[in-house]
Amino acid sequence: MISETERLNWIRLARTHGIGPVSFFQLLRRFGSAGAALEALPELSNRSRSSRRLQPPAPEEVEQELKAVERYGARIVLSSEPDYPPLLTNLEPPPPLLTLLGKAELATRPTVALVGARNASAAGRKIARDMAAELGRNGFTIVSGLALGIDGEAHAASLQTGTVAVLGGAIDHVYPPQHQRLYAEIAASGLIVSESPFGYRAKAQDFPRRNRIITGMSIGVVVVEAAERSGSLISARVAGEQGREVMAVPGSPLDPRAAGTNSLLHQGATLVRHADDVMEILTSLDRRQVSAPPPRPFEYAAEASEPDDSEIERVLSALSPHPMPIDEIARASSLPAARCAAVLLELEIAGEAQTLPGGLAVKAF
């Protein structure tokens, strides 16, 4: 059972600008607790070759957020706490904390993500409605992103049986505004999830994180309609990396809204036509293996000395503007993987690198 002080420190560390989920858990492993990691941040910043200083929010600021969330009827849940969506805990790393509004137990049931185009066709909308309603009647919780089009249809059709909306912005920021009523209905009978601080308005760069949560909460992902370049295709790729079953509804080769789903099928996604196809696939899965094997834990060796300038330069030289696996960076810099991870943590604090979910790192600019 985590103490109230450590819980507050956990939220402060997670809300520190410049500390992402990967570096958050690296700091926990290295220092043993969020409180110890916060105490170490000034020294880590002082060792940085840049002038960047990591500034955690003050305890009073986090307490104000907790009170605002509570007044709103929601709650903040840490990844180590019972109400946290269970499938998300298998991700490497999971979001350190989430804000939940509604029925957290819906995430413990069999869950399937249903996503697709915002400018969906009438046929695509009907497929989404019918599929979501039938899956709901058969005990599945529907997860989606509250967007216009396919997402909205999936949520509306599963309100009575259980639906989860994952937001890009804060729990109190309804986007798109056209879904104010749908948001209220989900808050009353379903579950709304956000990784963002209370009051935060979503930006374009927040939606990939939202999509990772949508797929991470689900045992399978169905894409109904998607253009060749779309967020739904990114979700499908992330779902595959997470070990989720990726399914797609075929469409006319003449309709650009089906180009993405047809491409997924060409690449090996499972073809589904209706809810029965989805249930046949999902009920055959071993849910103990639904999450992909996590990347090797590049844990910091506490007894090791601090990285020296030579090691830092070697890792910097090995970094690319494009995400690369950490084991490849370690090999290129002639360092053990755990040592490379320690150097990357120092570089991330300095703002010179960014570690990403999935065991990847990229050079920061």
pLDDT value of residue 47:
63
**Low-confidence winner among 155-159, 291-295, 341-345 (lowest mean pLDDT):** 291-295
Architecture of domain 101-190+198-289: 3-Layer(aba) Sandwich (3.40)
- pLDDT band at 294; cut points 50, 70, 90: very low
Token duo for residue 280: 């046949």
Give the tens place of pLDDT for each residue, 172-194: 999 999 999 999 999 999 999 99
Distances (CA, A) of 316 to 48, 332, 361: 14, 10, 11
User: Across residues 166-172, what is the average pLDDT?
Assistant: 96
Supply the angle between the helices 231-241 and 207-216 in degrees, to the nearest 10.
50
The DSSP code for 287 is: G
CB atoms within 10 A of CB 261: 31
Please report, as a single letter, which amino acid is at residue 189: S
The pLDDT > 90 percentage for the chain reads 61
Q: What residue ranges of the chain are covered by domains with CATH 1.10.10.10? A: 309-363
- Helices of type H across 246-307: 259-266, 275-282
Q: Can you read off the two tokens belonging to residue 150?
A: 């396919």
Higher pLDDT, 135 or 327: 135
Instruction: Over range 67-72, report the average pLDDT.
Output: 98
293: helix, coil or strand? Answer: coil
- Residue 117, token pair as written in the block: 């185009």
CATH number of 309-363: 1.10.10.10
pTM assigned to the model: 0.86
pLDDT for 298 equals 44
| Contact predicate 198/69, CB 8 Å | yes
Rounded to whole angstroms, the Cα distance separating 169 from 177 reads: 12
| CA 284 to each of CA 140, 267, 289: distance values in angstroms, whole numbers, following the listed order | 14, 21, 12
